Amino acid sequence: MVQEAEKYKSEDEEYKKKVKAKNALENYAYNMRNTIRDDKIVGDEFEDKMKELESVCNPIIAKMYQGTGGEAGGPTDDEAPPAAGPKIEEVD
């Protein structure tokens, strides 16, 4: 049993790093969402910030899809990633 644990230790550590990075990204996105809900921000600023965010995120998403090689439901090499992320609507 100890030998089996040692065998999978490196895989476990790699998975732990991925989960930690994913959680950090989700927390950052959540905090940004709460920040833009501030009533002090004017509507035109939302459009400008959306374009700015897309210019940062789109290359990252494209690189992620290239790294998966079209696996796990991602686009194949000849498909382009979506132009923008999913639209999330809140339901009360």
CB atoms within 10 A of CB 61: 16
With vertex at residue 85, the alpha carbon angle to CA 37 and CA 42, rounded to the nearest 5 degrees, is 30
Residue 20: which pLDDT band, with cuts at 50, 70 and 90?
A: very high
> What does the pLDDT look like over 33-82, one tens digit per residue?
888 777 776 667 778 888 888 899 899 889 988 887 655 444 444 444 45
SS3 81: coil
pTM of the model: 0.47
In this structure, what token pair is assigned to residue 14? 């790699």
